[in-house]
């Protein structure tokens, strides 16, 4: 079961909608916390729900290596395995294969690599990745794509887009009709013509949704945002539009206004583990000494469990002592901040005041750094 409907559009182009799956619905635009190994680090499924999370992201590549698809299937599938009974989207592993660099051989058939877990030789193909994601029992699955490390290199970007398209065709043939929804991934680097051609051909294949991939891999931020801007208009209006791997609060503000529906990023939990916390007046480092005797909450405007119950001074103490509770409380706050931001974005789009909301948020968040 999969469906998507748009219920409102702002004058700037942002839109609100709803994704329907057999494990529940997701209000869009939505941010998915990253649970690569079947867990969002430091948080229980109950805590994720209390933060307002409706869908999480896991990674088929990592889960297939450890504990393995067979183990997860024996434990009832990925929802039972994780104890998360809402929708789950899995990335296919294209980026992870790219990140293996000299330890992987990519050819027209697929990618061959040695597991960083035990050194065993593996081969991923578009068809085998479909089987992995179907066996996991996820709600939304990403196709196996080709990522280039230099989106500004036209030859590399063209090659990645062309091979991704050929793999997309094989993916469509391999998909079982009663399995998860599958999203195609548009490649083409920083080049509008390459992305336009790739998006047009992918659209003809009839995927359930479409993602923009191959960005935010080292290029300048301005170039990334410009590529995101022209890419969104290349995607079908009646399908979810997913911007992969971009997720600072300012990214979410900007890209939601352009018409993207889904986002993911490791920033909320990774930054939390390092003591960097998001607040309505900008990010702060709780490790800084000036928080040591601060009795106030992280963010007076936040109603999360962390802000309701603990002072900056206490969180500073936990972080400096490297206590496990520090990562948990800080992650809970950051994930809650992101979910609350997405709720505000949806409300602003619904009430057609997105432009004003964006300006007010940026003014307060950036403050004197503007």
CA 83 – CA 321 distance, rounded (Å): 30
List, in sequence order, every residue forming a beta bridge with 181; answer none if it has no partner. 140
- Do residues 224 and 253 make contact, with C-beta atoms less than 8 angstroms apart? no
Nearest partner of 338 among 288, 278, 289, 257, judged by Cα: 278
- Do residues 291 and 313 make contact, with C-beta atoms less than 8 angstroms apart? yes
Nearest partner of 1 among 180, 133, 175, 211, judged by Cα: 180
- Do residues 198 and 164 make contact, with C-beta atoms less than 8 angstroms apart? yes
What is the pairing mode between strands 111-114 and 121-124? antiparallel
List, in sequence order, every residue forming a beta bridge with 122; answer none if it has no partner. 113
Among residues 91, 197, 251, 299, the one annotated as catalytic is 91
Among residues 208, 261, 264, 299, the one annotated as catalytic is 264
For residue 170, how many other CB atoms are within 10 A of its CB?
A: 16
Nearest partner of 279 among 175, 367, 189, 181, judged by Cα: 367
Active site residue 264: yes
List, in sequence order, every residue forming a beta bridge with 186; answer none if it has no partner. 212
CA 338 – CA 268 distance, rounded (Å): 8
Q: What residues act catalytically?
A: 91, 264
């Amino acid at each position: 079961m999969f469906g998507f409907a748009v219920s409102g559009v702002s004058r700037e182009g942002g839109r609100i909608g709803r994704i329907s799956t057999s494990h529940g619905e997701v209000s869009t635009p939505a941010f998915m916390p990253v649970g690569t190994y079947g867990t969002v680090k430091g948080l229980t499924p109950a805590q994720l729900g209390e933060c307002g999370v409706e869908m999480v992201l896991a990674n088929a590549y990592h889960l297939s290596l450890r504990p393995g698809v067979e183990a997860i299937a024996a434990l009832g599938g990925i929802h039972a395995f994780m104890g998360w009974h809402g929708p789950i989207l899995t990335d296919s592993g294209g980026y992870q294969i790219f990140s293996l660099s000299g330890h992987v051989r990519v050819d027209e058939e697929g990618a061959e690599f040695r597991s960083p877990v035990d050194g065993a030789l593996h081969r991923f193909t578009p068809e085998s990745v479909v089987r992995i994601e179907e066996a996991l029992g996820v709600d939304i699955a990403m196709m196996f794509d080709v990522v280039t490390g230099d989106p500004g290199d036209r030859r590399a970007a063209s090659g990645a887009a062309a091979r991704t398209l050929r793999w997309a065709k094989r993916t469509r043939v391999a998909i079982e009709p009663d399995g998860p929804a599958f999203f195609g991934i548009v490649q083409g680097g920083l080049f509008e013509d390459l992305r336009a051609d790739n998006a047009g051909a992918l659209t003809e294949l009839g995927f359930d949704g479409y993602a923009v991939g191959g960005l935010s891999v080292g290029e300048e931020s301005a170039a990334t945002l410009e590529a995101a801007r022209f890419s969104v208009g290349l995607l079908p209006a009646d399908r979810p539009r997913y911007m992969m791997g971009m997720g600072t609060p300012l990214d979410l503000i900007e890209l939601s206004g352009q018409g993207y529906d889904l986002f993911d990023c490791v920033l909320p939990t990774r930054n939390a583990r390092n003591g960097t916390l998001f607040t309505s007046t900008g990010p702060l480092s709780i490790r800084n000494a000036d928080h040591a005797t601060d009795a106030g909450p992280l963010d007076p405007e936040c109603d999360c469990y962390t802000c309701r119950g603990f002072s900056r001074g206490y969180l500073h103490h936990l972080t400096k002592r490297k206590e496990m509770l520090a990562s948990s409380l800080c992650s809970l706050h950051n994930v809650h901040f992101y979910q609350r931001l997405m709720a505000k974005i949806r409300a602003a789009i619904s009430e057609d005041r997105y432009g004003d909301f964006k300006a007010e948020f940026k003014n307060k968040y950036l403050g004197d750094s503007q």
